[in-house]
Amino acid sequence: MEKSPRQRKHASLQSVESSAQLGVPHRLHFQQYQDLLSYNELPEWYQDNPFIHVGYRPVSNSTRKCFASLLYLHNESVNIYSHLIPAIAFLVSQWCLYQYLQVWYPSTSLDDQIIFAFFLLTASICLGLSATYHTLASHSHDTCNRWLQLDFIGIVILTLGDFISGIHMIFYCEPDLKLVYWGMIATLSLISVMILLNPKFQGPTWRTFRVGAFIATRLSGIAPLVHGVRIFGFGQMAQFGMPFYLIEGLLLIIGAAVYTVCLFVYPLFRKPAMLTHYKTRVPESLNPGKFDIFGSSHQIFHVLVVLATITQFVGILGAFDYNHHHRMCELA
């Protein structure tokens, strides 16, 4: 007796799941797993990563169903929770940090309190927008595109928070320089947002360009660091958090590179004709189907973003402590 289309789809999905070796123990039960799709069953607009074979939620046109997917495992689960949990944590840390400053730094200025609050808020917004995008990506084409734009804007917002806080700590007693560099990053952030919102630069074709704009904006942070070294020297800049700012930038650039930039080393040992199959999305492009649920490039990028944000936070805390105890600004 011939199987029904739904039975064939389910059997096919089970076969793909087995061959892809998801790395998930067989005894685990995936709620509603029978409703998840393989890559070839997706509409064209939803086909973003051919190296991820299975675990896709069907297009639902339902916000309720999208948020219901928080309760079962699929190939966006790690992307969602890797940013949702830190977003909540950074939001809660606003109150915790305020209490900490009141106890250990009772003379903290209003400017410093605003800087800390602004940084933590931008971190929460960025991670929250990211988690929401990955939750609603299966809603519809329009909703997916709208939230993808907001996801990228969230990255720009976090960049703004990073720069504002770091520049404040470096040029703690140089308000004119502080305003100049704040103006620079505000202008570059605005340009990045304009690029992200321009319909011409949407879609997978322009992914590298969008990430390139993001990386270029991040690299502009070298300017205030070099300027700071010229004024204060390396030793003093280390007290102002420069090593942490550099590590944070490196983590973000590595994450973007893993997700987008071409991989050149591995293909050298492959046939030239296979080069195009190994140019992006490491590690899943090296072993398609192996990282469908856990360990994909975008998940690695998410983890690196969180680690970078924590690194920045530790850096500005250390710089604040040094400024609080060792820098006395002359009154104009």
> Which positions make up the binding site for Zn(2+)?
134, 298, 302
Bond into 283 cis (ω within 30): yes
Residue 164 DSSP symbol: H
Q: Are 220 and 249 in contact (CB under 8 A)?
A: no
> Which residue from 169, 32, 191, 66 is spatially nearest to 109, judged by alpha carbons?
169
Helix (H) or strand (E) holding 163: helix 141-170
Binding site, residues?
134, 298, 302
Amino acid at 316: I
Q: Are 316 and 241 in contact (CB under 8 A)?
A: yes
> Which residue from 144, 128, 131, 129 is spatially nearest to 61, judged by alpha carbons?
144
Q: Are 320 and 112 in contact (CB under 8 A)?
A: yes
Give Cβ neighbours of residue 257 (< 8 Å, ≥ 6 apart). none
Helix (H) or strand (E) holding 158: helix 141-170
In sequence order, what DSSP letters do the residues of 126-156 get, joined into one string? HHHHHHHHHHHTTT-HHHHHHHHHHHHHHHH
